[in-house]
């Protein structure tokens, strides 16, 4: 990965993966968090969901990511917000962080970086007993996904909703609800990225041009396969 070119496309975008505020609100309604809840946004990227998470009265949100550029960007974005703390923390070590355990972990489009089973276990270790995990996970929306739909996830072992549900139960969670992210959630990610690609095209060197093609190709590929695959958002209570 050419990180300079990656960050030329991705710096200061409003979000780094599909999502919209109404999905966060839906998850918070299911979670029923206490006032002043401790929430972690794990793999927060640009912090696109932090504001929606702050809807819980008195909640404190710790937004973590491993990418230094995103951490710096979030620190600037939430500099005036006393209820937000931004940290360069790896999700695999979240349970050891002094702010853990949490009432809720929100993990949008990031748990699968660890793999589903490891991600569920790592998050459980960082939750209070009865705490809630909300995560979006690549999923197939058809029984017969095309080669194109498989290729979109570049070899990730994508499951259908039943497969995700059984992994959630096996990891010791009670599912509170699931929903498929809508097209608007994906466009909230791709539309600003495509505007950035268009702005950078003119002066791009070879490395940047290759990155622009890669990112533009991903958005185009999603539009071809979006009826077959997407993100399933699951809200689940840790039974520990």
Ligand X SMILES: C[S@@+](CC[C@H](N)C(=O)[O-])C[C@H]1O[C@@H](n2cnc3c(N)ncnc32)[C@H](O)[C@@H]1O
Instruction: Extract the tokens encoding 68.
Output: 């230094």
Taking the complex as a whole, the smallest distance from the CB of residue 213 to ligand X amounts, in Å, to: 19
Residue 64 is a binding residue for ligand X (CB under 6 A): yes
State the DSSP string of 137-181.
EEEESSSS--HHHHHHTTT---B-HHHHHHHHHHTTEEEEEEEEP
Interacting residue with ligand X among 7, 92, 95, 176 (CB under 6 A): 92
- CB nearer to ligand X: pick between 15 and 77: 15
Taking the complex as a whole, the smallest distance from the CB of residue 182 to ligand X amounts, in Å, to: 14
Residue 196 is a binding residue for ligand X (CB under 6 A): no
Touching ligand X, residues 104-123 (CB under 6 A): 108-110, 113
Question: Cβ atoms within 10 A of the Cβ of 195, count?
Answer: 11
Interacting residue with ligand X among 5, 17, 31, 235 (CB under 6 A): 17
Residue 156 is a binding residue for ligand X (CB under 6 A): no
Kindly report whether the peptide bond that precedes residue 101 is cis, defined as omega within 30 degrees of 0.
yes
Taking every pair of Cα atoms in the chain, the longest distance, rounded to a whole number of angstroms, is: 54
Q: Which residues, at least 6 apart from 169, have a Cβ–Cβ distance to it below 8 Å? A: 175
List contacts with ligand X (CB under 6 A). Answer: 15-17, 19, 43-46, 48, 64-67, 70, 90-92, 108-110, 113
């Amino acid at each position: 990965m050419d990180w300079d070119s990656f960050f030329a496309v991705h710096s200061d975008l409003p979000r780094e993966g599909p999502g919209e505020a109404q999905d966060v609100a839906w998850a918070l309604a299911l979670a029923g968090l206490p006032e002043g809840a401790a929430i972690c946004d794990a793999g927060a990227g640009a912090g696109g969901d932090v504001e929606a998470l702050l809807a819980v009265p008195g909640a404190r949100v710790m937004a973590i990511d491993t990418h230094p550029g995103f951490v710096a960007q979030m620190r600037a974005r939430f500099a005036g917000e006393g209820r937000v703390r931004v940290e360069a923390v790896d999700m695999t070590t979240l349970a050891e962080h002094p702010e853990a355990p949490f009432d809720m972990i929100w993990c949008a489009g990031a748990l699968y970086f660890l793999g589903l089973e490891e991600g569920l276990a790592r998050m459980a270790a960082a939750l209070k007993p009865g705490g809630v995990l909300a995560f979006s996970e690549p999923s197939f929306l058809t029984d017969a996904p095309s080669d194109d739909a498989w290729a979109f996830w570049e070899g990730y072992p994508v499951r259908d909703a039943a497969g995700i549900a059984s992994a959630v139960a096996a990891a010791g969670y009670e599912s509170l609800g699931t929903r498929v992210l809508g097209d608007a959630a994906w466009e909230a990610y791709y539309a600003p990225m495509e505007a950035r690609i268009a702005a950078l095209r003119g002066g791009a060197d070879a490395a940047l041009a290759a990155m622009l093609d890669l990112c533009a190709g991903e958005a185009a590929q999603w539009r071809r396969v979006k009826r077959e695959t997407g993100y399933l958002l699951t809200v689940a209570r840790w039974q520990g």
